[in-house]
Structure 1
């Protein structure tokens, strides 16, 4: 579980990132969760965009992505989800 200070720090790092995944009308599926998990292992911090044609609740989509990948939900702002998961091999982010 992340503290408020850690979440603020991660939000500041994620500010300049662009979303590398999009959740469309198909919703969250196993293949997407697997790919996002691999991206988290490589980058530790990513943004995921929820498209307008997705009819699911954005809070449920964010929770499903975090649960499926084992990541921490840093932020859900608008239709953008910020996820963090500490990398086992390529740890670059040092939390305060």
Structure 2
């Protein structure tokens, strides 16, 4: 995936600020169900927040890298236990896409 420009990242962070986490990764780590749910959320919403449990910073960084690689998503921002992921949807659904629904925030 092509790297996002600074302006694109800024716009995505503005939109992501208003979002709540839709995927939670618990103590079991990155399971098949979590990957499946993350892929579904990315295809529906394009821009999502994921919350990662655990106190070990290195383990969280590893999980973030792994989920981005497995899903093909771009890590937009990481703050503490929350990561903002972006993956362009092939057919963009205007009713579900956070980019369309929150487009007024980036103007």
2:54 to 15, 30, 52: 52
TM-score, length-scaled by structure 2: 0.79
| 2:78 paired residue number | 76
Residue segments in structure 2 that go unaligned for 5+ positions in a row: 101-107
Deviations 1:34-82 (A, max 9, x none): 1111110100000000113678621111111111111101011110010
Greater fraction helix: 2
CA distance in 1, matches of 2:80, 2:67: 16
Count of aligned pairs: 95
Larger Rg: 2
CA distance in 1, matches of 2:50, 2:12: 15
* Partner secondary structure for residue 57 of structure 1: helix
RMSD: 2.1
Asked whether the equivalents of residues 24 and 53 of structure 1 are also in contact (C-alpha less than 8 Å), the reply is: no
CA distance in 1, matches of 2:13, 2:60: 18
Asked whether the equivalents of residues 25 and 51 of structure 2 are also in contact (C-alpha less than 8 Å), the reply is: yes
Which stretch of the first structure deviates more once superposed, 17-26 or 52-61?
52-61
TM-score, length-scaled by structure 1: 0.87
